[in-house]
Amino acid sequence: MSTEAHEQQAESAVAEDAQETGPEQFSGRSLLSADDEEASSEVPNPDVEALRTLVDEADCQCAPYQSVVVAAVQILEKALRYERQAASAALSLGQQEKMKAMVETAERAVSVLRDTLTAQGHKVMHLCTETSSAGPAASDDEGQPWWFTLSNALEVLEQGTDQMTSLTTGQSPGSAARELSQLTAQLLRSHHDALLLEAEEWIS
């Protein structure tokens, strides 16, 4: 009888160990999945990374580069104002998430470029901001329906792309200023195309 009792106790102990280890293993898999999801959400944007690489390698002090930076920041910040409006007027959570992702990308790009401005570049930027503030602001259109804000954002992005493309042709081939204008135009064009696709899906 004592032998049977020992066997039953041993079987009970094994069963208890199995029950205890089960949740721990499952919890470990859950934590791993959460880490994977967090890591995937932090994937860098290629447009912003390209700008960072350029900034790290270029001579950011030269006058041609500074003039392009000033123009790029102005154009991107104007596009940002209209993209934020479109995001706030989005018709669905999916649209809002797409727009917020675009806004975050543009914000990072502006931050990268602003960090390369020299003292003179900041002065020029300040003067340009004062001049542009005299015109109509995007805030005048707050509260407008999504289609209206989307149309405005598309128009501003198209104008910005054209302006940066024109700047590209005026820069020396192979120069950092030319590459900067190309990268900025590429970013603006990608945002324009993404919004255009969103509009087409909404119409259909």
For residue 137, what pLDDT is reported? 52
For residue 32, what pLDDT is reported? 34
The domain in which residue 196 lies consists of 46-203
For residue 143, what pLDDT is reported? 72
Residues 141, 79, single domain; the answer is yes
Residues 101, 56, single domain; the answer is yes
Residues 38, 53, single domain; the answer is no
Contact 163, 71 (CB under 8 A): yes
Residues 10, 103, single domain; the answer is no
Residues 77, 178, single domain; the answer is yes
Q: How far is CA 94 from CA 32, 100, 112, 150, in A?
A: 26, 10, 28, 15
CATH number of the domain that residue 61 is part of: 1.20.1260.10
Residues 108, 190, single domain; the answer is yes
Structural domain ending residue among the three candidates 27, 43, 59: 43
Residues 24, 63, single domain; the answer is no
Domain count, the chain: 2
Which amino acid makes up residue 162?
D
Q: What would the DSSP string read from start to end of the chain? A: -HHHHHHHHHHHHHHHHHHHHHHHHHHHHHHHHHHHHHHHHTPPPHHHHHHHHHHHHS-TTSHHHHHHHHHHHHHHHHHHHHHHHHHHT-SSHHHHHHHHHHHHHHHHHHHHHHTT--HHHHHHHHHHHHHHTTS--GGGGTT--HHHHHHHHHHHHHHHHHHHHHHHHTSPTT-HHHHHHHHHHHHHHHHHHHHHHHHHHHH-
Residues 128, 27, single domain; the answer is no
For residue 198, what pLDDT is reported? 86
Residues 70, 105, single domain; the answer is yes
Residues 1, 74, single domain; the answer is no
Residues 80, 179, single domain; the answer is yes
CA dist., res. 143 & res. 129, Å (int):
24
Q: What is the pLDDT along the chain (204 residues), one digit of tens a residue?
A: 544 444 455 445 544 444 444 433 333 333 333 344 433 344 457 789 999 999 898 888 888 999 999 999 999 999 999 999 999 998 888 888 999 999 999 999 999 999 999 888 888 887 877 665 545 555 556 678 888 999 999 999 999 999 999 999 988 899 999 999 999 999 999 999 999 998 888 776
For residue 128, what pLDDT is reported? 73
Residues 19, 110, single domain; the answer is no
Cβ neighbour number for residue 39 with a 10 Å cutoff: 9
For residue 39, what pLDDT is reported? 37
